[in-house]
A and B are shown apart, each in its own frame.
Chain A
Amino acid sequence: MDEQRRVRTERLRWHSRRALLENDLVLQRFWQKQTEALDDATAGMLERLLEMEDHDLWELLSGRQDAGDPALQSMVALLRQPAG
């Protein structure tokens, strides 16, 4: 179980390599704060976001668009939190 969770987290860490620098930077900030494996709910939300095309993802991460789904939007809000 723990191993499964770890692998899922590591895969998402790599999937955070994006085509747009803007997205890379926002996701990097998230990972720097994240030392443990992600719980299933967070991992699921992040998977949904990382499946998006990069321009669409940036629309959400920049706050120009709403994810339309409250759970997903709360993940977006978490990612948008400034460093520190």
Chain B
Amino acid sequence: MNVTVRKFDAVIVGAGGAGLRAAIQLSEAGLKTAVLTKVFPTRSHTVAAQGGVAASLGNSEEDHWHWHMYDTVKGSDWLGDQDAIEFMCRKANECVIELEHYGMPFDRLDNGRIYQRPFGGHMSNFGEKPVRRSCAAADRTGHAMLHAMYQRNVKANTQFFVEWMALDLIRDAEGEVLGVTAMEMETGEIYAFHAKATIFATGGSGRIYYSSTNAFINTGDGVGMAARAGSPLEDMEFWQFHPTGVAGAGVLITEGVRGEGGILRNSQGERFMERYAPNAKDLASRDVVSRAMVTEINEGRGCGPNKDYVLLDITHLPPETIMKRLPGIHEIAVQFAGVDALKEPIPVVPTCHYQMGGIPTNYHGQVVVPGKRTQNEIVPGFYAAGECACASVHGANRLGTNSLLDLLVFGKSAGETAVEELKKTPKAHKELPADAFERTLERLNRLETQKGGANVHETRLAMQRTMQKHAGVFRFNDLLKEGVQKILDVQKDVQQTEIKDKSKVFNTARLEALELDNLIEVAVATMVSAEARKESRGAHVRDDAPDTPERPNGRDDANWLKHTLWYKENNRLEYKSVTLRPLTVETIALKKRAY
């Protein structure tokens, strides 16, 4: 197979929020920049974000980046790196105002300033009382953000390669990253993008779970490519779940439904939340509700033929309330659960929503790995930002609206650092190694010639069901142990997937097989990392790590206040310490995480 080589100063994989933000930095510095994307930039998943982006602008009431920092550290259950968190919270205002200058139509106050909404977990004065910190553009924040940044990139002459799928990272013997291989979907031809800086901004990998709020595009390609090229993955056991996704579909049903009086029921029709949270009941926090739902299902009180979901009941609410206060819920229930929510309850399950872990980076957006001298040595030429990266600002649990902020701050930071590096050491492109395309060509050739192999759709489903059952929102030692074996079995099938259609142009079957190669890396990393972490922290909640005075919420700081690093080779695990020292302020000291 022929591989055509194209040279750029920088190649960015991904045109969601993180990729577009990084690209602005590079193109405006006059560097020749290519952005590869599987779909048109404004079809990236960032479009789905509605809640807003956090910044302590203090437009409606007093706010401070230090308070935002406190909330983020606490949200992360102290697993977030406090240097990166300080960096992000301090940069928030600048990044949001920049976006405003790019033409982002934020909602405004009468005085013309950006309007800010309250959001769960945003507090003033170090956790004292709620504060308005989220900046939004109606209910299309992510969408408006992508449009503004895409236009800015067009002006800056960023070269977009739309409907191109990056396949593998190119690394030489010294470990330096020199670009990526990619497939042009229109022709099926293979290219190499030879670059001095390579930035991954490929988004999340939520499709490893059976029930996921993520669109189909979120297949963890960047994370998979990094793992295949020998990079470790950080904190992959941490996934945020949303309690109410429509069973079987994943579409998110907002918290507002329970706010308006929606009730969760088990197969006996019982309002089970009364037993788990006598005061807050159905309005208890996300993790409490999710755990109660899973306990009901595990104890045999789930509904449906497989007893694998519970019901969200709004039939007692007046139809006018539903139609007026909860617009869209009726349509979602009809389309995806096949029920008329005015008359029947909606089947729901805790659903995977956000990936906290990813490719390890520092707060400059540079990919880092443990080396001989330090635990964070820079991989030359390699950067990552957005949901595929782990800076780590979200630690064990993400604070709402911090991911749009993450992609602005670290997208910019990765771009800025790459510009500086390229200026510091102006040089020609380093030569590509002789085996630069080998991994890609082997994968493609294997897929082309596979006989009697596994079906892609069925194998993906087996992976998703395994993840859902064995590494879901509430985790059990025996299930995790079994899960490791099961996911390794699924991995064997992934290594021998077979496609019938061998055509070249827009061959979705081939693309999906290639995506599955990435998903499985994420799934294995998640299962192995989760099995090993013998405590509860943030979104990783184990049934055998109970809440005691020494171990608040099951969190075991003496043994587990550390980041997981998973390596593909032999599924090896290493750990590295959490950076507890911020840049300029004092450490936010460990405390029980309670709201």
Query: Which residues of chain A have a CB within 8 Å of any CB of chain B?
Result: 6-7, 10-11, 13-14, 17-22, 24-26, 28, 53-55, 61-64, 80, 82
Contacts and interface: CB of A to CB of B under 8 A. Distances in A.
B251 A22 contact: yes
23 contacts: A7-B505, A10-B505, A11-B506, A13-B508, A14-B163, A14-B508, A17-B38, A17-B39, A17-B215, A17-B217, A18-B217, A19-B42, A19-B46, A19-B143, A20-B215, A21-B212, A21-B213, A22-B332, A22-B335, A24-B215, A26-B335, A53-B42, A62-B335
B395 interface: no
A19 B336 contact: no
A21 B218 CA distance: 10
Contacts, number: 82
The interface residues of chain A, by DSSP majority, are classed as helix
B256 interface: no
B44 A19 contact: yes
Contact of A25 (B46, B48, B185, B251): B251
B99 interface: no
Contacts of A53: 42, 47, 143
Interface in B494-511: 503, 505-508, 511
Nearest to A83: B338
A14 B185 contact: yes
A19 to B, nearest CB: 4
Nearest to A27: B216
Given A21-B215, A54-B47, A54-B143, 15 more contacts: A6-B503, A7-B506, A11-B505, A17-B39, A19-B43, A21-B249, A22-B335, A22-B336, A24-B215, A25-B336, A55-B143, A61-B335, A62-B328, A64-B327, A64-B331
B328 A19 contact: no
B335 A21 contact: no
A63 B336 contact: no
Contacts of A61: 335
Contacts of B140: 55
A56 to B, nearest CB: 10
Contacts of B332: 22, 62
A15 to B, nearest CB: 8
Interface residues of B, number: 35
Interface of B: 38-39, 42-48, 140, 143, 163, 185, 212-217, 249-251, 327-328, 331-332, 335-336, 338, 503, 505-508, 511
Contacts of B43: 17-19, 54
Contacts of B214: 21
Nearest to A51: B40
A20 B48 contact: yes
B214 to A, nearest CB: 7
Given A10-B508, A22-B332, A55-B143, A17 B216 contact: yes
A53 B338 CA distance: 25
A68 B508 CA distance: 32
